[in-house]
Amino acid sequence: MLIAVALAALAADIVSKTIVVATLQDRAPVRLLGGLLKLRETRNSGAAFSIGTGYTIVFTVIACGVVVAILRTARNLRSLPWAVCLGLLLGGAIGNLLDRLFRAPAPLKGHVVDWIEFPHYPVFNLADSAIVCGGILAVVLAARGLQIDGTRLADKDADDNADTDADGGADEEPDGPSAGRPAADAPSAKDAAPAAPAAPAGPAGPPRDGPPAPDAADSPAAGDADVPAREEKP
């Protein structure tokens, strides 16, 4: 997809420039849409949209670097939208680079053919349009979090958080023979409180006449089993 888009952009740029040079060179501009669009052949020694005229060699070197960078990035390409984006950038960069290499006045100093003109706007060509469209698409894809390898930033963050939680849970688990064994110093449930002594069993018999049995508040505590009970006088 990247190669197909790049070849399409490059072919459109080369064909359009060939026609413009053959039909509009040294001629009056062609007015279209009531003067909103003009077709006029000009030569640009600078960057896109006639920026930085006079630095042709610098922009030639930059264009070569852009082409190499795109080709190296394409090795990790796994996204169709990014393939279209990089294809537009590659085709536009090569289209203007060919003008700088092979057109007058000299190799590496050639002037780019521009021919599309809008009111109050610099003259440009189809290669410039491809570069601008590819740059806008790159900004949109980056804003949506789509990466060149086809993944999204949100998915990567979720995977990183999941890996972090898994590592943290594994670190909290005890290892070695002490795992699953209670601490030696922790008291058991049996030793938490001493058992109260059982009350002595007496012979069963009929109830005796006498005062009522004392309330539970007056009875000795369970822990005071060794203290004799107080006798009540009739």
Consecutive sets of 10 residues in the chain, 234 residues long: mean pLDDT of each?
A: 96 96 92 91 74 71 91 92 96 93 86 92 92 95 93 70 59 50 48 49 49 49 48 50
**Closest by Cα among 95, 86, 103, 82 to 128:** 95
Question: Using DSSP, how many helices (H) and how many strands (E) does the chain show?
Answer: 5, 3
160 is catalytic: no
Alpha-carbon torsion (214, 220, 226, 232), positive or negative: negative
128 is catalytic: yes
What is the structure's pLDDT at 57? 78
Calculate Rg over the CA atoms of the chain: 46
Structure tokens at 45: 């020694």
> Catalytic: which of 13, 114, 149, 215?
114
Annotate 56-93 with three-state secondary structure: HHHHHHHHHHHHHHHHHHHHHCCCHHHHHHHHHHHHHH
> Catalytic: which of 99, 128, 157, 224?
128
For residue 7, give the amino acid letter: L
Look-up of token digits 């795109």 = 70
